[in-house]
Amino acid sequence: MGLLTGKNIVLTGVLTKASLAYAIAETALAEDAQIVLTGAGRGLQLTERTARKLGGSVDVIEFDVTDSSHVDILRDELDHRWGRVDGSLHSIGYAPEICLGGNFMAATWDDVKTALEISTYSLKMLADAVVPLMTNGGSMVGLDFDATRAWPSYDWMGVAKAGLESTCRYLARYLGPQNIRVNLVAAGPVKTMAARSIPGFENFEKTWSRRAPLGWDVKDASAVARTSVALLSDWLPATTGSIIHVDGGFHAIGA
């Protein structure tokens, strides 16, 4: 028996083996979950290729959060496949290049609204797809990067993450009566495809390893994966609307 035995889990954001979502998918399988992945656009083929590395039984469903019709398509496919969903992972984020790297004042509304649509509102879209199938309650988990501070170069993605944190709290408020928990995992920096798109990411690495009281390894996603799987399980039944920091304790320590 694993932590997720009998659970049907939907995971977004698995692009390559370096993705945080990949480590979570791998851990979920080790804990006996049934999983499907979602992918979109040019990344769909990457997700399909990576799914094969997780095992032949892991399928991929297209889910483009910029296309509202995909909500019904994903829900119908999951209903046909399982009839019930127990958990979901939100690991979706994107911002145009101008929104990062110290160009905060240069980004236009068209740039910013793209970041907010894909990185923030997508959590609600995922809820639209999976919540009607969470007939026995469930758990939604999202990946976050602490938005209580203005990080160097993170710029409008930091704003999008602040919106994600607020969306998590409101979803927790409105879905709680259905016994659906909604939480975020604020991960420390891990070397992923997403991290490579952040200018100056190496500065995060140096700062984290120096200040985190438990230490931090930017090449090790296992702590993030295990925490996410714990949240997807039944082991935290009274935790919702929360941001769980998995960062070696960095967030609690001053300069």
Active-site positions read 154, 161
Whole-number Å distance between alpha carbons of 177 and 172: 9
Q: Report the first-to-last Cα separation within the chain, whole angstroms.
A: 44
In a 3-state reduction of DSSP, which class is residue 38?
Answer: strand
Whole-number Å distance between alpha carbons of 49 and 141: 24
Give the helix/strand (H/E) hosting 62.
Answer: strand 59-62
Whole-number Å distance between alpha carbons of 26 and 136: 24
The token duo for 157 is 């993605």
Which residues 6+ apart lie within 8 Å of 243 measured at CB? 144, 146, 165, 168, 183, 184, 185, 186
- CA-nearest of 172, 190, 189, 173 to 181 is 172
Contact 3, 31 (CB under 8 A): yes
Q: Which residue type does 129 have? A: A
Q: Give the CA-trace dihedral at 146, 14, 129, 44, to 10 degrees.
A: 130
